[in-house]
Amino acid sequence: MENIPATLWIAACAHRLRQRWHSVDAFELEDIARTLRRDARLRAMRPDEAADDWLRPLTDASAQEPAASSNRLPSGQFPISP
């Protein structure tokens, strides 16, 4: 959204990224949010919507992973046979 100051948009976007992507350093998320703001299509969105839109390919891919079969460990590996 063009009427939100850049620093506020970036901070809000980074916050949303942090809510969805816990394993990434906060400073890196801020850099990502800054990069997202350079994209006119994403900048026209609310910061949380832009973050969700950018993360969608990652979240869609993880949702499509096959479920572990009952004879596999939670890690997806087969147990070691005795």
User: pTM for this one?
Assistant: 0.70
Domains of the chain by residue range: 6-54
Left (φ > 0), alpha (ψ -120 to 50) or beta: where does 20 sit? alpha
pLDDT of residue 19: 94
pLDDT at 8 (0 to 100)? 97
Low-confidence ranges of the chain (pLDDT < 70): 1-2, 58-82
pLDDT of residue 68: 46
Position 69 scores a pLDDT of 46
Model pLDDT, residue 31: 94
Residue 79 pLDDT:
58
